[in-house]
Amino acid sequence: MKKLFMLFGGIVVLLLFFYNYQFYKNETSETISRADFKNHVGKLAEANPKNHIETVQEHTVNKHIRIKDEPNDQTIVPVLMYHHFVEEGEKVGYTTISNVAFEEQIKYLKSKGYNTVTDQDIVDYYYNGKKLPENPIQITMDDGYESNYKLAYPILKKYGMKATIFVIVSRIGEEYLPPRLTWDQIKEMSDSGVMSIQSHTYDMHHKVMKNDSVEVSAMISDNNEEFLKSVKDDLIRSKEILEEKLGKEVISLSYPYGHYNEEILSVVKEVGFKLAYTVQSGLNNVNTNELELFRINVSSMYNGKAIEEEIKKQKELLNSQNNN
């Protein structure tokens, strides 16, 4: 009877994955056929017959195996990128906008039916095949400025929207200009559920000269084994400190200055980040590499309608690329 139950359970999970998902990506981001994925699931079921469904889900996330929806999945995920906020009337620029402008943008997006999604929502979409709400959009903020807490956080709460802050962990509570977030502020936002706190490295957010001529992010300034170990140690440190302080898993990373390479991608994956964000302009869909997510930088030149127009333009570009 026990063997019969195990056999039945194995058949159920195979049928579930066979009919609902077409293929997945393995650790080297290669596409695997549905038949190969079926065999993979069967092996996991044999290894853990009592909890094979949970084993499959855990394995796909931990090993960066992506389960993809059917080819007609039309989900598009815009990710907005912010940095610093100031009071109305203060100096604004490419990475700094006023609180008044930010509220107008959030109010507009809300009125147009956009639904903010979290890092965990996106992990569930890419790794577990869960659907996102209609008109998903993610709001992100890089560096960890105190203005995220004082100016942006109250606006997001007011409109029932959520965001992610990528913090440079070594600078939390330290004296910098513009001022940085404190641990108390970070904890409050994290506990509220309004803000997800993720990593912008521990202390790799600075530039160095490479080959005496090119200024690059410290994160890609070398590629020897010792250097890559130092990057890995930095990322682990950032992840562990945030997890210890906030009691939540840290699942995503924003690359400093958007700089990365193939060696860094491997390190990021090895450390255990499920998502990583670039500064490259574009939108994300089912085919986007989850460690090379696109974003749209929101400068002081944008209002809500301009953001919507930029999303439409990027959608047209993405659709034209998919049709070629």
d(CA 293, CA 301): 23
Per-residue pLDDT at 30 exceeds 60: no
| Alpha-carbon separation of residue 129 from 39, 141, 249 (angstroms) | 18, 26, 20
**DSSP code string of 107-132:** HHHHHTT-EE--HHHHHHHHHH-PPP
How would residue 74 be classed by pLDDT, with cut points 50, 70 and 90?
Answer: confident
Give the containing element (helix H, strand E) for 294: strand 293-297
Q: Which tens digit of pLDDT belongs to each residue from 100-126?
A: 999 999 999 999 999 999 999 999 999
Q: Which tens digit of pLDDT belongs to each residue from 143-155?
A: 999 999 999 999 9
Spatial CB neighbours of 230, under 8 Å, sequence gap ≥ 6: none
Lowest mean pLDDT among 18-27, 47-56, 69-78: 18-27
How would residue 37 be classed by pLDDT, with cut points 50, 70 and 90?
Answer: very low
Domains in the chain with CATH codes: 2-68 (no CATH), 79-323 (3.20.20.370)
Per-residue pLDDT at 29 exceeds 50: no
Residue-level pLDDT at 283: 98
